[in-house]
Amino acid sequence: MKASHIAKISIEPETPESTIPDPNQLWFADDIDQNDLKNVYGKKDTPQEQKLKKKTILAKMNAVSGDQARLGKFVAIDCEMVGVGPDGTDSALARVSLVNFHGAVLLDCYVKPQEAVTDYRTHVSGIEPKHLESDEAITFKEAQFKVEAIIRGRVLIGHAVYNDLQVLMISHPTLLIRDTSRYKPFRNLAKGRTPGLKMLVKEILGISIQSGSHSSVEDARFTMQLYKSVKLEWEKSFGAKSGLMMKKLAAKETSQSKKKKTVSIKEAESDHVSESDQGSSDSGSDSGSDSGSEDEE
């Protein structure tokens, strides 16, 4: 073969990777739309473009205000754990974060473990001794109460969310849980295995996360983004009957939550009255004692 012919072949343009096929030429065209084709066949973002995309999304989330910053029907959770026990193999809650549908932070707090920490797992968890020794770190019971108050009666989104619930020692109705590690279309990307959050965010959203230690806020936010990307299909998969059951369950959970709150307020008021009665009794005032009885009734 002549050198000139070889040169001619080498400079002929190849079919670009960004060429998007005509849907009419694909046998599976009925199952996908143009945006899906663009994600698969379209030009992939460069690392710099991915960083800019991530920065833009996070900036938008941080700027959320008004109605979009309220609690809402959907919440995403992520927890960071530290190691406890002789070898640090057992996990204990060290940080918990919750965000709403728009990525607004509803809760983000460090939690003092109930046992001595033997492995901070800093390279993964991002947790350091100073975080748990800070005056701002709350007790496990406080974290448990705050999380339960937020998620009750709401759809809870998480990645391997059952691990988060387990370390918090709380439960949530299965019908109101959306676990992105168990969603079948996501698992298909990992050939049936449990997909990692980092991989899913990269494949589905085209964004790189967890480049260093994890951030429970960031992980919760992008777990919510994953859910939002398939929300319509995921919710439709439950069917009308399950949808009705979910509505009833959410209403029941909310009602129970309100009752618990009312009972707590009454108990607090009762304790306050009892303290007042004790003070009056100590001072020897009969009229004060009668007044206390009327308040309790």
Mapping DSSP to helix (H, G, I), strand (E, B) and coil, where does residue 242 land? helix
Other C-beta atoms closer than 10 Å to the C-beta of 224 total 26
Question: Are 52 and 66 contacting, i.e. CB atoms less than 8 angstroms apart?
Answer: no
Return the pLDDT at 12. 38
More confident residue, 143 or 62: 143
Residue 109, burial from CB neighbour count under 10 angstroms (0-12, 13-18, 19+) = middle
Is the Cα torsion angle 246, 101, 178, 167 positive or negative in sign?
A: negative
pLDDT in tens, 100-135: 999 999 999 999 999 999 999 999 999 999 999 999
CA-to-CA distance for 159 and 176, rounded, in angstroms? 14
80: exposed, middle or buried (Cβ count in 10 Å: 0-12, 13-18, 19+): buried
What pLDDT does residue 255 have?
Answer: 73
> How many H-runs (helices) and E-runs (strands) does the chain carry?
12, 7
- With beta carbons less than 8 A apart as the criterion, state whether 258 and 241 touch: no
What is the tens place of the pLDDT at every residue in 23-35? 555 444 444 455 5
Centroid of chain to Cα 58: 15
Q: Quote the mean pLDDT of the chain.
A: 79
For residue range 72-107, what is the model confidence (pLDDT) as tens digits?
Answer: 999 999 999 999 999 899 999 999 999 999 999 999
237 vs 137, which has greater pLDDT?
A: 137
**Stretch 259-282: mean pLDDT, rounded?**
53
Q: Which residues contact 142 (CB under 8 A, 6 or more apart)?
A: 111
Nearest-5° Cα angle at 29, 24 to 31? 160
Q: Which of 275, 204, 271 is nearest to 234 (CA)?
A: 204
Helix axes 161-168, 140-151, angle to 10 degrees: 130
Q: Are 96 and 77 in contact (CB under 8 A)?
A: yes
Q: How many CB atoms neighbour CB 192 within 10 A?
A: 9
21 confidence band (pLDDT: 50, 70, 90): low
d(CA 256, CA 112): 29
Structure tokens at 252: 């029941």
Each residue of 215-232: pLDDT tens digit? Answer: 899 999 999 999 999 999
